[in-house]
Amino acid sequence: MDATDLSLNVNIGGIQMRNPVMTASGTFGYGSEYVNFVDLNQLGAVVVKGVTSVPWPGNPMQRIMETPSGMLNAIGLQNVGVDGFISEKLPYLRDFDVPVIVNVCGKTVEEYLIVTEKLNSADGVAGIELNISCPNLDCGGMSFGVDATLAHELVTEVRAKTHLPILVKLSPNVTDITLIARAVEDAGANALSAINTLLGMAINAETRKPELANVTGGLSGPAIKPVALRLVWEVYKSVSIPIVGMGGIMTATDAVEFFIAGSSAVAVGTANFVNPQASMEVVKGLHAYLKEADIGSIKELVGSLQVDPPTIA
């Protein structure tokens, strides 16, 4: 690819990227794991595994289960904690010329703020992505992301603590995602990530036990792509900040569909597990698509869905 080719350049909420292909949090570790297969300098951004104020041990086994065209996971956000991330993981990423977006989780607003403040003073963080699907312990375990008021409060508090660009990762497990999207936009989010995993479960008919120790888990992979596209389309029509589309993207063609639905960038997630080079292949494929279709910039695709007007009988 020609380094001077600007057709894939995007700016997501203030983060300038050479192309619109990111990695989805939790599917790319802390960047070093796939370095044999992915040139990090060729990615739009690296979104690292969610970090919390203290290390989290994670859930008991079993944590994952394959389902038709997808997988369920209930990892429980096992991570090294923000201090461990800054001292052990971030220095490695600084050697690359790629924006690093840190996914942030917490069980209380206070925990989100602790992580945010520590990331503020860390060198090499381009932005933060708030995972608002975590259970809020101050509200009986209800997820921040399923209530517009809770989500608004959380983003307002984080916004007051940081000048870093804030992406908010939306939960699909809601009645009307546009209410949450507008609430977090109003609270100062710079961009939205859509979507997080869909809650699901798998049951072993012989043992009558759940396949996951946590009983329920998050569904990802191609199985959720139609749902993700629909939600991106709905969010696109209701906000003006950019959307990072994700949910079952395996190929560049999948990614193109997300741009057409209204995404300004995309993230490759579960596909990384199946094909370590998936993100690179999406970058190359997008480039080829633009060239083939003679489109000067990926931005022209965003929200370009052609809906035929209803015919009048």
Catalytic residues: 134
Note whether 78 binds other proteins by CB under 8 A: yes
Cα–Cα distance, 254 to 29 (Å, whole number): 23
CB closer to other proteins out of 83 and 157: 83
Determine the straight-line distance between the first and last CA of the chain, rounded to whole angstroms. 50
Segment near other proteins (CB under 8 A), from 71-79, 84-92, 93-101, 188-196? 71-79
Site for other proteins in 281-310 (CB under 8 A): none
Site for other proteins in 257-276 (CB under 8 A): 270, 272-276
Site for other proteins in 46-65 (CB under 8 A): 49, 57-58, 60-65
**Alpha carbon distances (Å) from 236 to 142, 290, 302:** 26, 22, 9
Please identify which residue in 5, 6, 33, 226 interacts with other proteins, judged by CB under 8 A: 33
- Please count the residues of this chain forming the interface with other proteins, following the rule CB under 8 A: 36
Q: What share of the chain is helix, strand, coil (3-state, %, to 5)?
A: 35, 20, 45
User: What are the tokens at 100?
Assistant: 């690093």
Note whether 221 binds other proteins by CB under 8 A: yes
Cα–Cα distance, 66 to 313 (Å, whole number): 47
Could you tell me the maximum CA-CA distance found in the chain, to the nearest angstrom? Answer: 66
Shortest CB 167 distance to other proteins, Å: 20
- Is residue 295 reached through a cis peptide bond, with omega within 30 degrees of 0 on the bond before it? no
Please identify which residue in 71, 126, 151, 252 interacts with other proteins, judged by CB under 8 A: 71
Q: Binding marks (x or -) toward other proteins, 112..131, rule CB under 8 A?
A: --------------------
Q: Are 150 and 102 in contact, with CB atoms under 8 Å apart?
A: no
The dihedral through the CA atoms of 228, 259, 236, 47 has a sign that is positive
Please identify which residue in 29, 81, 84, 124 interacts with other proteins, judged by CB under 8 A: 29
Shortest CB 88 distance to other proteins, Å: 14
Cα–Cα distance, 117 to 162 (Å, whole number): 7
Name the residues that contact other proteins, by CB under 8 A: 26-29, 33-37, 49, 57-58, 60-66, 68-71, 73, 75, 78, 221-222, 250, 270, 272-277
